[in-house]
């Protein structure tokens, strides 16, 4: 059965929060938010100007994406998509679902010709490998320093 992309709804918030928590763990994020806080944040996005999409196969949700369409920061006549979160369930990775999901998003939901922008944490080498395999190229590196002086 093909991968289906559908909009998320308020009834999906508990599932989205659980998947977001697993994403945070998998990518090595320092985000300390609880499941309840993640659900509240997702609700704000859902009611705001973000798009939340679920990926489903055989009536089972297998992942999700959160993104926002924006004007390009340098070329105001061009569109970009900031893909803030992208997740495929752990036990289903390595089967081509991530590639199928990003292709479906691009073909069905992202504006034609737009630039898609992602952030990949340095602590997530598997994520770096995935994004390179689906065609993304590094653009910049954000660095942090904890000022202990």
Summarize pLDDT for 19-59 with one digit per residue, the tens.
Answer: 999 999 999 999 999 999 999 999 999 999 999 999 999 98
pLDDT reported for residue 149: 81
pLDDT at residue 1 above 90? no
Nearest residue to 54 (alpha-carbon basis) of 94, 18, 3, 90: 3
Could you name the CATH architecture of 4-133? 3-Layer(aba) Sandwich (3.40)
* 129-144 mean pLDDT: 95
Per-residue pLDDT tens over the stretch 109-130: 999 999 999 999 999 999 999 9
Domain ranges, ordered by start, for the chain: 4-133
Nearest residue to 78 (alpha-carbon basis) of 117, 133, 50: 117
Residue 126 CB coordination number (10 Å): 12
Per-residue pLDDT tens over the stretch 46-96: 999 999 999 999 989 999 999 999 999 999 999 999 999 999 999 999 999
């Amino acid at each position: 059965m093909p991968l289906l992309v559908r909009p998320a709804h308020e009834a999906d918030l508990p599932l989205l929060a659980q998947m977001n928590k697993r994403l945070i763990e998998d990518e090595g994020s320092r985000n300390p938010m609880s499941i309840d806080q993640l659900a509240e944040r997702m609700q704000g996005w859902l009611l705001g100007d973000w798009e939340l999409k679920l990926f489903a196969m055989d009536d089972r949700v297998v992942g999700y994406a959160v993104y926002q369409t924006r004007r390009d920061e340098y070329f105001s006549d061009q569109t970009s998509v900031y893909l803030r979160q992208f997740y495929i369930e752990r036990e289903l990775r390595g089967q081509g679902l991530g590639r199928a999901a990003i292709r479906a998003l691009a073909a069905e939901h992202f504006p034609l010709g737009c630039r898609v922008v992602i952030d990949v944490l340095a602590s997530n080498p598997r994520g770096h490998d995935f994004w390179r395999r689906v065609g993304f190229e590094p653009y910049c590196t954000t660095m942090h320093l904890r000022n202990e002086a």
